[in-house]
Structure 1
Amino acid sequence: MEFRYLGNSGLKISEITYGNWLTHGSQVENEIATQCVHAALDAGITTFDTADVYANTRAESVLGEALRGQRRESLEIFTKVYHPTGPRGHNDSGLSRKHIMESINGSLSRLGTDYVDLYQAHRYDFETPLAETMQAFADIVRQGKALYIGVSEWTADQIRAGHALAKDLGFQLISSQPQYNMLWRVIEAEVVPTCVELGISQIVWSPIAQGVLTGKYAPGGELPPGSRATDERGGAETIKRYLTDEILTGVKSLEPIAADLGLTMAQLAIAWVLSQENVASALVGASRPEQIADNVGAAGVTLDAEVLARIDDALGHLAVTDPSLTKSPATRPS
């Protein structure tokens, strides 16, 4: 496993981060989830990402239980706040001081830790003054409940405003967690240049496009049984935009590139993300322990300019690049 600094901080995280969105507490039984976490640890992954909204807090509990007994100082544990949790009352979502302060305490209890290494605003909250949100984060850092603060799916302007307030309040905004892969490149035009300027790194989710970039979905073919595309509990909805014959044919053309490098398709997709400017880590999930070993094979892989050009020739014209697609709901979800 290789490690990279997160933003302009002194915090190092593993190039591959284990995330449990859509799996722990919902799609995967707790025993299998624990096996996946232990497989991640055995593979050298030290960074684990979750959120209070995942399976309505159950994912945090599953991760906390799976990590019990590990040396806390050897881990980097991340979680998030914004989306509705609990009974979804009128103050059970957003980035108000009330919701943030209550949420961090709940997350720490479920995770079984006194602090998280990174606490992230899961989306931008248009209903709360940004100054209120950042003051709450500053207080959580001073209380030692979070060491650093990050954001997820914020625009370049929102990141810039948040960074300025954080600096005034005496803490560091060090990370952005956007969706990013060969097919979804909306951060490249605005978010990445802003973050490079400000010393903020990307921790990217969906590096294999919900499994599409593994090549397991064939153009015109039947959906593989048990795949994310057949999961009506959330997976099918998130993946459907990628399941066009044009995209799947483009993905198929990546197979000789991966073969030339001795990589699986998943490894090629993750290595591509890790080769991009400003990326500190790629988030991967797993529904089976053996998937971890495949994903970790991308750590330390360097793709040269010729390989990157071949990938762009295959998929670049299919990639979504519109920066306006980085956005948060106009009102808090309930």
Structure 2
Amino acid sequence: MQFRYLGKSGFKVSEITYGNWLTHASQVENDQAIACVKASLEAGITTFDTADVYANTGAETVLGEALKGERRQSVEIFTKVFGPTGPKGHNDVGLSRKHVMESIDGSLTRLQTDYVDLYQAHRFDYFTPLEETMQAFADLVRMGKVLYVGVSEWTADQLREGAKLAKELGFQLISNQPQYNAIWRVIEPEVVPTSKELGISQIVWSPIAQGVLTGKYKPGRPHPEGSRATDDKGGANMISRWMRDDVLTSVQGLEPIAKELDLSLAQLAIAWVLQNENVASAIIGASRPEQVHENVKASGVNIPLELMERIDEVLGGVIERDPKRTQDSSPKQREA
């Protein structure tokens, strides 16, 4: 396992992060979820990402149980705040001081820890003054409940304003968590250049495009039984936008490149995002321990430039690059 610095800080994370969105306390039984966390530790992963909104706080609870007994200083625990939790009342959502302060205490209890290494604004809040949110984060850092602060799916302009306020308040934004993979590159035109300028790293989610980049979905053929595309608990909806024949056909064209590198298509997809120097870590999920052991083999892989160019040629017209898609990810109206 390789390690990378997160942003312009002295904080290192494993370049593969284990994440439990859509799995723990939801699609995967708790015993299996805990086995996946144990497999991650065995494989050298030290960084774990979750959020209070995942399974309405259930995912944090499972992760806390799975990491119980581990040396706290040897792992990095990330969580997030924004989405509606609990009974989803009028103050149970967003980045108000009230919601941030109350949410961190709940997260710490569920994760069975005194602090989180990275606390992330899960989305941008258009209804709360940014000054209020950043002051709350600054206070949590001074209280010792949060060591570092990051965000998720913020635009370049939002990152710039957030970083400015953080500096004025005596801390720094060190990370952004966007969706990023070989067919979803919307952060490349604006977010990545701005992040490099500000000293912010990317911790990317969905490096295998919800499983599409594994090649297991074939154009014109039924979806594999038990796959995310057949999951009626939310997985099928998340993956539906990529279940087009042109996308699936293009992905099959990556097979010769993967074989040339002696990688599976999933390993190729994860290794691809790690070629971007602004990416500190790629988040993987798993429903079985063996998936973890296979995917960590992407760590440390170098893809030659000529093969990176061939990947671009194969995927061609199915690549999404519009930077405006980042702004679409933050709700413009209250969910509660």
| TM-score bracket for this pair, using the shorter chain length | over 0.9
For residues 138 and 239 of structure 1, what CA distance do their matches in structure 2 show? 36
For residues 259 and 166 of structure 2, what CA distance do their matches in structure 1 show? 46
For residues 315 and 26 of structure 1, what CA distance do their matches in structure 2 show? 32
Q: State the match for 2:282 in structure 1.
A: 282
| 1:125–1:332 CA contact under 8 A, matched in 2 | no
Q: State the match for 2:153 in structure 1.
A: 153
Q: Read off the aligned partner of 1:332 and give its amino acid letter.
A: R
Q: Is the aligned partner of 1:331 residue 2:333?
A: yes
For residues 75 and 159 of structure 2, what CA distance do their matches in structure 1 show? 26
For residues 277 and 65 of structure 1, what CA distance do their matches in structure 2 show? 34
Percent identity over the alignment is 71
Structure 1 position 277, deviation (Å): 3.1
CA deviation vs aligned residue, 1:187-242 (integer Å, no higher than 9, x gap): 00000000000000000000000000000000111011000000011100000111
- For residues 111-122 of structure 1, what are the structure 2 equivalents within 5 Å? 111-122=111-122
Pairs aligned (count): 334
| 1:125–1:331 CA contact under 8 A, matched in 2 | no
For residues 231 and 145 of structure 2, what CA distance do their matches in structure 1 show? 36
CA deviation vs aligned residue, 1:2-46 (integer Å, no higher than 9, x gap): 000000000000000000000000000000000000000000000
Q: State the match for 2:144 in structure 1.
A: 144
Structure 1 position 316, deviation (Å): 3.2
Q: State the match for 2:33 in structure 1.
A: 33
Q: Is the aligned partner of 1:215 residue 2:215?
A: yes
Q: Read off the aligned partner of 2:9 and give its amino acid letter.
A: S
Structure 1: tracts of 5 or more residues without a match: none
Q: State the match for 1:247 in structure 2.
A: 247
Q: State the match for 1:186 in structure 2.
A: 186
CA deviation vs aligned residue, 1:248-270 (integer Å, no higher than 9, x gap): 00000000100011001000000
CA deviation vs aligned residue, 1:48-102 (integer Å, no higher than 9, x gap): 0000000000000000000000000000000000000000000000000000000
| 1:48–1:78 CA contact under 8 A, matched in 2 | yes
Q: Read off the aligned partner of 2:194 and give its amino acid letter.
A: T
For residues 159 and 91 of structure 2, what CA distance do their matches in structure 1 show? 24
314-323 or 98-107: bigger deviation: 314-323
CA deviation vs aligned residue, 1:136-176 (integer Å, no higher than 9, x gap): 00000000000000000010000000000000000110000
Deviation >2 Å, runs of 4+ = none
Structure 1 position 331, deviation (Å): 1.9
For residues 128 and 261 of structure 2, what CA distance do their matches in structure 1 show? 49
Structure 2: tracts of 5 or more residues without a match: none
Q: Secondary structure at the match of 1:141?
A: helix
For residues 252 and 263 of structure 2, what CA distance do their matches in structure 1 show? 14
RMSD: 0.5
Q: Secondary structure at the match of 1:321?
A: coil
Task: Return the TM-score normalized by structure 1.
Answer: 0.99
Q: Is the aligned partner of 1:87 residue 2:87?
A: yes
CA deviation vs aligned residue, 1:278-325 (integer Å, no higher than 9, x gap): 000000000001000111000000011011001000113211110001
| 1:182–1:316 CA contact under 8 A, matched in 2 | no
For residues 78 and 230 of structure 1, what CA distance do their matches in structure 2 show? 29
Q: State the match for 1:22 in structure 2.
A: 22
Q: Read off the aligned partner of 2:331 and give its amino acid letter.
A: P
